[in-house]
Amino acid sequence: MKHRLAPITLALTLLVATAHAQQQPLAPTGRWAHQGVGSAPTPPMGWSSWNAFHMDLTEQRVLDSAQVIVDTGLATAGYRNINIDDGWWRQRRASDGRMQVRTNLFPSAGTGGAAGTSLRPFTDKIHAMGLKAGLYSDIGRNACSQAYNTDSPNLPEGSQAEREVGLMDNFERDIALYFGDWNFDFIKVDGCGLSSYGKDRPPVTSGRFREFGPTVVEGNANQSDMDGARALYGRVTQALRSVRPRGDYVLSVCLWGAANVRSWGAEVGTMWRTSRDIAPSFSQMLHNFDTVATREFYAGPGRWNDPDMLEIGNGEFDGSHLLEARAHMGLWAIVAAPLMIGTDLSKASPALIDVLKAPEVVAINQDPAGNQGVLAYADSDRQILVKTLADGRKAVLLFNRTGSPAKFTLTAEHMKMDATAPIALRDAWARADAGTFTDKREFELKPREALLFTATGKRLLPRGYFVSERPGNVYVARDGIRALEQDPIVYRALASWATTDNGGTRPAYAGWGAPRADSTPYDQALSVQRQAFRHGIGALADSRLQVQVPAGSQRFVARVGVDDSTRGKSAAVSFEVWGDGRRLAATAPAKFNQPARELSTDLRGVKLIELIARQHGADTTGPVVVTWGDARIE
């Protein structure tokens, strides 16, 4: 999306808001709250036309890339969704509202007859290749291209009503057409119709488009109608559920991290964009990556944070930048991001195809446990992320974000492994063993390099695991955030379409204060009355986390208290553990600077626990930060 942040909007980004209404209550339900939208047990993989061709999309170009996907084995590697992005539509037919396809671009759609045009011949071809087909629409009346690609010859045509190609007012009709008659498997639903058609915006002042809202303001969650946006996406979810009751579809919510979608995307979509559009530059890639890196508790099987499509093959990630291409791929793999190729594959070198196809890297991304990698170490220059795999191994990524070589020390503790036992590393790119060490190992990384390993060792916990090791088993039913704040630790890259003729690139994404693995919600080390916890969960008071409990588990144990970094120092907090809707254990209320207390309970036969931190009384000094130190399931 381009030119979307007016300077005035940028100036308004630091904000305080009232509680967001979609928060579920603190009362435990005993039922896993994530209902699931569509079907994507592992992150969706495929190819999309946008980063490769933008508005110069043609059926032939899509089919050419699809053919490369089959011929090179990328399909076998898992890249199966072939997605048409913006630019495919001609108009909504005046007589009956049926969408018409741009047949100069999609010749096979010119079927004639009562339907006029149809993308069914296209999806039939894609399906015959053993692939799946994806389409693009907008949640509002008009699309992004109509606001931002005004020179394109491929924009919708006709009267104002005919050019209203988005889903609004047509949810059921369009979804029935796309997933019924046309047989698509995947849809990306963009949000420009909600954000870019306010009365002062060029598409509207030109007199060519109907005014709407804006109900979503990028970079300003206060000015966004979160509940309204969520309800509209909910209409798409509903329409999909009725056309595809078996759940065989993917709904990709494209709201660029706006309107606090990072917190509610899983309620209405299979995956949701956490940031503005990626661009083929390293700094923009860092920005997009950062918008998911601290959101580990929001992803899991069937629900995925989406830092946007891959730029591998383009710009700073092209065939002469294989090190950067591998870094981009490794980062998307370790955070379990959807892998959508965004390059013209007919021009991609075998070396680039190998980056995309790398079997052990893809396997880390597609691991069935669906855990997003957790930051085990971070400064502004270096990061270490660790992802727990289904078989108990760890995937570990070391990332040098800078333009200079950087030294790293990887420790057993980073991987929650025993420092006295040998740890065997395997290089996921080289697909070769990379040596064994105990306790710690030194590395020197090249500028912008990311190393990716799998590690096998003895677990730090002889029995069971820390809850923070398996974020895919956790669902944030209530985050405890009362006043929306923008996440200040996302790298502030200048957007490719922006300039510096304003006050600066400000933090742009709400959700700061959400629960974190091995960190407080405000990115501090966990600590209760000076007792430090390297492992645990940080959250705000008045939060409720659901945790799936594997069969055979016996106990939940944690040391709990108000964290030393709390902003609110006066209110007391009690900690409760509920199992399948029954209260299992609780602490008396405690305040800042009181010692951590042990909370321990029998879990035999329990399938779901809910961890509740309940605040007693208001705290005028600020949000109360709590720590579930060493929270573990044994």
Site residues (vs ligand GLA, CB under 6 A): 1, 50, 85-86, 144-145, 190, 254, 256, 277
- Reported for 157-160, long-range contacts at CB under 8 A and 24+ positions apart, including other chains, are 157/90, 157/91, 158/90, 158/91, 158/94, 159/94, 160/208, 160/209, 160/210
Q: How is 334-381 classified by DSSP, letter by letter?
A: HTT--EEE-S-GGG--HHHHHHHH-HHHHHHHT-TT-PPPEEEEE-SS
Q: Which residue has the tokens 């661009």?
A: 279
Q: How far is the CB of 623 from ligand GLA (least distance, A)?
A: 31
Helix axes 350-357, 322-334, angle to 10 degrees: 20
> 341 or 476: whose CB is closer to ligand GLA?
341
Q: How is 498-529 classified by DSSP, letter by letter?
A: --SSSS------B-TT--EESS-TTS--EEET
Decide: 548 and 473 in contact? Cβ < 8 Å.
yes
> 135 or 613: whose CB is closer to ligand GLA?
135
Q: How far is the CB of 601 from ligand GLA (least distance, A)?
A: 45
Q: How far is the CB of 43 from ligand GLA (least distance, A)?
A: 17
> 254 or 537: whose CB is closer to ligand GLA?
254
> 59 or 85: whose CB is closer to ligand GLA?
85
Q: What angle do CA 465, 479, 535 make, to 5 degrees?
A: 25
> 190 or 360: whose CB is closer to ligand GLA?
190
CA distances from 153 to 2, 55, 93 (A): 18, 9, 19
Give the CB-nearest residue to ligand GLA: 1
Q: Determine the 3-state secondary structure of 397 from DSSP.
A: strand
> 123 or 142: whose CB is closer to ligand GLA?
142
What residues does 387 pair with on adjacent strands?
395
Torsion of CA 53, 59, 64, 66, to 10 degrees: 90
> 126 or 254: whose CB is closer to ligand GLA?
254
- Using CA atoms, how far apart are residues 611 and 480, in angstroms rounded to an integer? 12
Helix axes 261-268, 226-243, angle to 10 degrees: 20
Q: How far is the CB of 222 from ligand GLA (least distance, A)?
A: 22
Q: How far is the CB of 447 from ligand GLA (least distance, A)?
A: 29
Buried/exposed 151-169: b ≥16 CB within 10 Å, e otherwise: eeebbbeeeeebbbbbbbe
> 85 or 290: whose CB is closer to ligand GLA?
85
Comparing CA positions, the residue from 394, 385, 416, 391 lying closest to residue 295 is 385
Decide: 508 and 219 in contact? Cβ < 8 Å.
yes
> 145 or 371: whose CB is closer to ligand GLA?
145
Q: How far is the CB of 189 from ligand GLA (least distance, A)?
A: 10
Other beta carbons within 10 angstroms of residue 345's beta carbon come to 24
Mention every residue, 6+ apart, whose C-beta is less than 8 A from residue 470. 369, 371, 388
Q: How far is the CB of 145 from ligand GLA (least distance, A)?
A: 4
> 288 or 615: whose CB is closer to ligand GLA?
288
Q: How far is the CB of 261 from ligand GLA (least distance, A)?
A: 12
- Using CA atoms, how far apart are residues 403 and 393, in angstroms rounded to an integer? 31
- Using CA atoms, how far apart are residues 452 and 330, in angstroms rounded to an integer? 7
> 105 or 254: whose CB is closer to ligand GLA?
254
Q: How far is the CB of 276 from ligand GLA (least distance, A)?
A: 7
> Residue 477: what are its φ and ψ, rounded to 5°?
-75, -35
Ranges of H-type helices in 432-502: none
> 145 or 587: whose CB is closer to ligand GLA?
145
Q: How far is the CB of 144 from ligand GLA (least distance, A)?
A: 3
Q: How far is the CB of 256 from ligand GLA (least distance, A)?
A: 6
Q: How far is the CB of 53 from ligand GLA (least distance, A)?
A: 11
